[in-house]
């Protein structure tokens, strides 16, 4: 079917500015992805899942510029022992990165997987993204598979002693970056992936994660403070039997962030938790779009998203739990809540459940509210100044999402960032 | 210490007058009790003194050691020494009881220009005080009042009072919902704080709390006013005859 003309034109304009990397064995996957882009067209305002978030600046031929943010504060996770993989405006920086050597994992650049003939990687690149295109289209992810200029392939075969940490530095006001990472966690293996930094003025990132039976992947991410940056990220995760995936994202500031999580529970007794805490001010716009598919027995999924919005900020949550036929004993939970610190801010939520099995327990809830005046008075009556009391209640509101982080030290690091933001913005 | 003169209060949102000229003076070192039927305005008085929103003072004044309370924010009143033990203590999910207590203690010290209490000193003090109120370590760790029984909430109020060492303690129906043992614990907690420099205003519906916290002065409040003031015997009179006789006599 032909695309609507507006979409056709926009898609062509964007593609005209892109060059497919000369990437050997990923070439076929890239060509396939390009075909998907051409068929779907890039997102437009009329698309069902883009009603609350304007895709214009994410699909435009040129990326809008974004000022660089300077701070004397050490970057998040600095104090943690970790293996650092640094990208500057979306380009791998070997000088700033650690040696990509760590017991229990093999780490390669995507461009090297062909000459090294890494089979699992060739079999994963673009595959989960392609599967994730139905029933909801995600054209920006297909665009990424086709044109991502860099990225990392991580093969987890053991239990590495420290987290692998992606650090995304933003160096140029006009940077327009696309990264594509793939991670395969083998049976019984376990890894923690950290991500932080603003990345680029416009950032399109795709991560495909394949977790084999009894594998475990923890993911903690913080999206940088550069307020003018824009980002569209996709995480596609497939879980095998008794495997575990836990992902948490902190977002402070950012005029446009769209984080999609597409999760497929394909083995019995698997567990997937995705959580997010965001705080934003003014023209901050933050969108979490989550799709969890239960396709096995006795799996558990949790979605916990909390947004603190002020001075006209906008929060979006679109979360779906799909329970396929035969996915009995599914335990699906979803909560999305916003704390609106004034009347100008808004929270737009679209929670969805679609269930084709009869023995399941699924619940979802979405709320939007102001600071609890009674609690505020109680704190103040004990001598806590209004500003501190408001911040305490705001952190308390976010706590349910932050509590999803299993590692206490990482959770504390996130809380201290939130405290910093609150003290600067109140 | 606490001086309330001709206090008139209406609801901010409605044309409803609740306090209609309250006169009351609590001297340092004394315990005053206020009794009165439901709806007479006792809780309203306690809220107005601690600075809750939603009320409008239309006439009169309230001062603590000569300072105008009504002009201050709730946190300033707290730092000046006002403490209200709530009739319905508030649950605050996500805020640990201990964190809350320490923040409150240090905020008040800071407001008064004193040094903050070190973590170790605070811990030592809170443990000792919690123990005498039979508040266990688990209750200290849990979120403020969340999942606490009625009695636990009231004991938690007294713990806060003991930690904050206010000048003027206002207790709003701290006895309601308590069994005899819990009431004794609470009364002991209050009695331990009785001191020459401290005043108490104990609001209660029933006389029984006053068996344990012996008042110096008893006031009867009805329809937004203090209608009768007397000694401890007045509480016994209410206990034996109810409010009807007193109200009939006043009218
Ligand atoms: N916020 C409010 N909104 C409406 N009515 C109120 C409010 N606060 C108090 N009142 C009314 O004021 C009167 C006094 O209430 P209160 O002070 O709670 O009495 P008491 O504590 O003596 O039982 C009651 O009639 C009560 O319904
Ligand atoms: Mg009352």
* The pLDDT of residue A424: 86
Q: Is the pLDDT of residue A165 over 70?
A: yes
CA–CA dist B70, B60 (Å, integer): 10
Ligand 1 atom with least separation from CA of B173 = 21
What is the average per-residue pLDDT within A31-51? 95
- What would the DSSP string read from start to end of A26-80? GHHHHHHHHHHHHHH-S--TTSGGGSSS--HHHHSSSPPP-PPP--SSPPTTTTS
Length of chain A counted residue by residue: 426
Looking at residue A219, what is its pLDDT?
A: 98
pLDDT tens string B180-226: 888 888 899 899 999 999 999 999 988 888 889 999 999 999 999 99
CA of B9 to the centre of ligand 1 (A): 11
What is the predicted pLDDT for the residue at A224?
77
Give how far A217 is from chain B: nearest CA, Å: 27
pLDDT band at B242 (very low <50, low <70, confident <90, very high): confident
- pLDDT score for B206: 80
* The token pair that represents A281 in the structure block: 């001010």
Give A337's strand partners: A306, A367
CA distance B100 to B83: 15
Contacts of B89 in chain A (CB under 8 A): 378
Q: Looking at residue B71, what DSSP letter applies? A: G
pLDDT the model gives residue B200:
96
Q: Do B95 and A385 touch (CB under 8 A)?
A: no
Q: Do B104 and A384 touch (CB under 8 A)?
A: yes
Q: Cα torsion at B216, B221, B224, B227 (round to 10°)?
A: -90
Question: Which residues does B118 contact at the CB level (< 8 Å), separation at least 6?
Answer: none
**DSSP class per residue in B118-175:** PHHHHHHHHHHHHHHTT--HHHHHSEETTT--HHHHHHHHHHHHHHH--SEEEEESTT
Name every protein residue with a CB atom under 6 angstroms from any ligand 1 atom. B 11, 18, 36, 38-44, 54
- Average of pLDDT values for A208-226? 95
Beta partners for residue A257, in sequence order: A231, A286
The nearest alpha carbon in chain B to A394 belongs to B94
pLDDT on residue A174:
95
Is B146 within 8 Å of chain A by CB?
no
A131 close to B (CB below 8 A): no
Strand partners, B100: none
Q: Has residue B45 got a pLDDT over 80?
A: yes
Instruction: Look at residue A190 in the predicted model and tell me its pLDDT.
Output: 98
Burial class (CB in 10 A: 0-12, 13-18, 19+), A358: exposed
Q: Name which residue sits closest to atom 27 of ligand 1, judged by CA.
A: B39
**pLDDT at residue B251, as a whole number:** 66
Q: Average pLDDT of chain A?
A: 95
Residues from chain B that touch A423, judged by Cβ atoms under 8 A, are none
The best mutation among B10, B39, B47 to test binding of ligand 1, ranked by most ligand atoms within 8 Å of the C-beta, falls on B39
The partner residue sitting opposite B74, judged by closest CB among A377, A395, A399, is A377
Taking 90 as the threshold, does the pLDDT of residue A315 lie above it? Answer: yes
Distance B175 CA to ligand 2 centre (A): 12
Q: Look at residue A71 in the predicted model and tell me its pLDDT.
A: 84
Predicted local distance difference test score (pLDDT) of residue B99:
93
Of A345, A423, A368, nearest to A391 by C-alpha is A423
Packing angle of the helix pair B119-132, B97-111 (nearest 10 deg): 120
Report how far apart, in Å, the C-alpha atoms of A222 and of each of A195, A311, A414 are. 6, 22, 8
Tell me whether residues B86 and A378 touch, CB distance under 8 A: yes
Q: Does A1 have pLDDT greater than 70? A: no
pLDDT surpassing 90 at residue A322: yes
**B167 — pLDDT class (breaks 50, 70, 90):** very high
pLDDT exceeds cutoff 90 at A23: no
ipTM: 0.96
For residue B92, the distance in angstroms to the closest alpha carbon of chain A comes to: 6
Comparing A134-138, A207-211, B183-187, the range with the smallest average pLDDT is: B183-187
Over the stretch A81-92, which tens digit does the pLDDT of each residue have? 999 999 999 999
pLDDT surpasses 80 at A35: yes
- What pLDDT shows up at residue B125? 93
Report the alpha-carbon distance of residue A99 to residue A118 in Å, rounded.
19
Hunting for tokens 């209410």 — which residue is that? B238
Instruction: Count the helices and strands in chain A (H runs, E runs).
Output: 9, 20
Residue B69 pLDDT grade (very low, low, confident, very high; cuts 50, 70, 90): very high
Taking the domains of chain A in order of start, what are their residue ranges?
5-370
pLDDT at residue number A74: 87
pLDDT computed for residue A334 by the predictor: 97
Neighbours of A115 (CB within 10 A): 10
Report the distance separating Cα A192 and Cα A405, nearest Å.
Answer: 11
From the list A333, A227, A327, the residue with the least C-alpha distance to A278 is A227
Taking residues A224-249, what's their average pLDDT? Answer: 96
What percent of chain A is predicted at pLDDT more than 90?
A: 92
Supply the pLDDT for residue B177: 81
**Residues that place a CB less than 5 A from ion ligand 2:** B 43
Phi/psi of residue A180, each to 5°? -135, 115
CA distance A187 to A191: 12
- Put simply, whether B53 touches A (Cβ < 8 Å) is yes
Any idea what the Cα angle at residue B5 is, between residues B3 and B9, rounded to 5°?
115
Q: What distance in angstroms lies between residue A353's CA and the mean position of ligand 2's atoms?
A: 45
- On the CB side of B12, CA atoms within 13 Å amount to 6
At A168 the pLDDT is 97
Q: Name the residue among B77, B78, B103 with its Cβ closest to that of A392.
A: B103
The answer to whether A178 and A90 have CB atoms below 8 angstroms apart is: yes
């Amino acid at each position: 079917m032909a695309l609507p003309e507006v979409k056709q034109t926009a898609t062509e304009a964007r593609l005209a500015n892109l060059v497919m990397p000369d990437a050997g064995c990923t070439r076929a996957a890239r060509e396939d992805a390009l075909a998907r882009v051409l068929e779907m067209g890039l997102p437009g305002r009329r698309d069902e899942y883009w009603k609350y978030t304007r895709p214009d600046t994410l699909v435009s031929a040129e990326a809008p510029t974004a000022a660089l943010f300077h701070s004397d504060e050490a970057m998040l996770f600095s104090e943690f022992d970790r293996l650092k993989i640094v990208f500057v405006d979306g380009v791998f920086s070997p000088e700033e990165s650690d040696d990509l050597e760590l017991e229990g994992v093999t780490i390669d650049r995507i461009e090297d997987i062909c000459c090294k003939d890494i089979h699992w990687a060739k079999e994963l690149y673009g595959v989960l993204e392609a599967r994730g295109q139905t029933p909801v289209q995600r054209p920006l992810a297909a665009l990424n598979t086709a044109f991502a200029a860099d990225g990392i392939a991580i093969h987890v075969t053991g239990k590495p002693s420290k987290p692998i940490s992606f650090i995304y530095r933003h160096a140029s006001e006009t940077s327009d970056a696309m990264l594509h990472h793939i991670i395969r966690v083998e049976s019984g293996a376990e890894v923690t992936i950290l991500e932080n930094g603003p990345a680029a003025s416009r950032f399109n990132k795709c991560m495909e994660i394949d977790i084999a039976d009894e594998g475990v992947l923890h993911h903690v991410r913080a999206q940088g403070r550069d307020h003018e940056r824009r980002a569209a990220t996709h995480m596609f995760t497939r879980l095998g039997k008794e495997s575990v995936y836990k992902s948490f994202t902190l977002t402070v500031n950012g005029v446009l962030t769209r984080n999609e999580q597409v999760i497929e529970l394909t083995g019995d007794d698997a567990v997937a938790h995705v959580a997010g805490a965001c705080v934003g001010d003014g023209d901050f716009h933050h969108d979490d779009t989550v799709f969890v598919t239960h396709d096995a027995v006795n799996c558990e999924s949790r979605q916990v998203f909390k947004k603190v919005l002020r001075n006209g900020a906008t929060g979006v949550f679109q979360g779906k739990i799909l329970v396929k036929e035969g996915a009995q004993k599914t335990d699906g939970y979803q909560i999305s809540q916003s704390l609106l610190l004034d009347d100008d801010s808004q929270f737009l939520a679209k929670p969805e459940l679609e269930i084709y099995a009869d023995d399941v327990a699924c619940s979802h809830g979405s709320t939007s509210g102001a600071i609890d005046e009674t609690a505020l008075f109680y704190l103040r009556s004990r001598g806590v100044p209004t500003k501190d009391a408001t911040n305490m209640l705001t952190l308390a509101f976010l706590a349910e999402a932050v509590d999803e982080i299993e590692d206490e030290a990482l959770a504390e690091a996130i809380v201290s960032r939130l405290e910093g933001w609150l003290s600067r913005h109140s | 210490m606490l001086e309330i003169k001709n206090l008139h209060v209406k609801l901010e949102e409605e044309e409803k007058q609740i306090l209609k000229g309250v006169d009351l003076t609590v001297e340092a070192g004394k315990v005053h009790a206020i009794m009165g039927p439901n709806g007479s305005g006792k809780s309203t008085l306690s809220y107005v003194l601690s600075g809750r929103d939603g009320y409008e003072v239309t006439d009169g004044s309230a001062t603590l050691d000569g300072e105008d309370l009504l002009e201050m924010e709730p946190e300033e009143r707290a730092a000046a020494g006002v403490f209200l033990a709530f009739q319905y203590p508030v649950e605050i999910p996500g805020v640990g009881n201990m964190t809350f207590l320490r923040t409150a203690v240090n905020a008040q010290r800071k407001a008064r220009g004193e040094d903050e209490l070190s973590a170790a000193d605070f811990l030592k003090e809170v443990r000792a005080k919690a123990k005498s109120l039979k508040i266990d370590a688990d209750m200290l760790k849990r979120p403020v009042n969340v999942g606490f029984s009625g009695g636990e909430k009231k004991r938690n109020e007294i713990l806060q009072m003991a930690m904050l060492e206010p000048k003027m303690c206002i207790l709003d129906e701290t006895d309601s919902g308590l069994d005899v043992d819990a009431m004794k614990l609470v009364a002991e907690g209050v009695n331990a704080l009785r001191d020459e420099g401290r005043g108490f205003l104990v609001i209660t519906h029933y006389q029984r709390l006053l068996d344990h916290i012996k008042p110096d002065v008893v006031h009867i409040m009805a329809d937004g006013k203090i209608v009768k003031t007397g000694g401890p015997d007045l509480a016994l009179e209410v206990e034996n005859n109810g409010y009807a006789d007193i109200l009939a006599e006043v009218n």
